[in-house]
Amino acid sequence: VRYGYIDKNDSMIIKPVYEYAMPFVEGVAVVKQYDRNGMIDTKGKEVLPIKYIFVSSMNNGYFWVANEDGLALFNNKMKPLTQFLYQDANPLSEKLYPVLRDGKWGYINTKGKEKIACQYDVAMPFKDGRAMVMKDKKYGIIDYSGDYILPLEYGDAGMRSQAYVFS
């Protein structure tokens, strides 16, 4: 099976040459060819080379790309903002991405700058300027600067009705 794209009138606009093709988001689509991923524009022009292990869909001008070394954050100009050094990343939460590097979680901003060092065993998304983190089996809450609002001293934590609960 090969994938391509048609317009609203069912006219072929991009021939079915891809192993997989995602919907267009912000003017680009993730496509897969020969077991590698990249991006094309609405005319079918390759805007990100089809050479990567993984490419996420565009989200508010940013997306993640993986090669053999790890994940990197890219912008909508197809420029890498970080090196390929993350093992995992979660969606942007408020103004920071939770990222996993060398087995520890931290946070980077949309410019690719590490704002809160990768030091946590768990780093939850930010909500209302706060994020729950866990280090050495103790939970706490940090702000955008990484300062503790609630120190790392709780052995158990969770969410109930959109509020953190600690014990």
52-102: per-residue pLDDT in tens?
A: 999 999 999 999 999 999 999 999 999 999 999 999 999 999 999 999 999
Q: Which residues have C-beta within 8 Å of that of residue 86, sequence separation ≥ 6?
A: 70, 71, 72, 99, 100, 101
Rounded Cα gap, residues 2 and 61, in angstroms: 28
Percent of the chain with pLDDT over 90: 91
4, 12 Cβ separation under 8 angstroms: yes
Rounded Cα gap, residues 166 and 126, in angstroms: 17
**Which residues does residue 105 pair with via DSSP β-bridges, in sequence order?**
100, 120
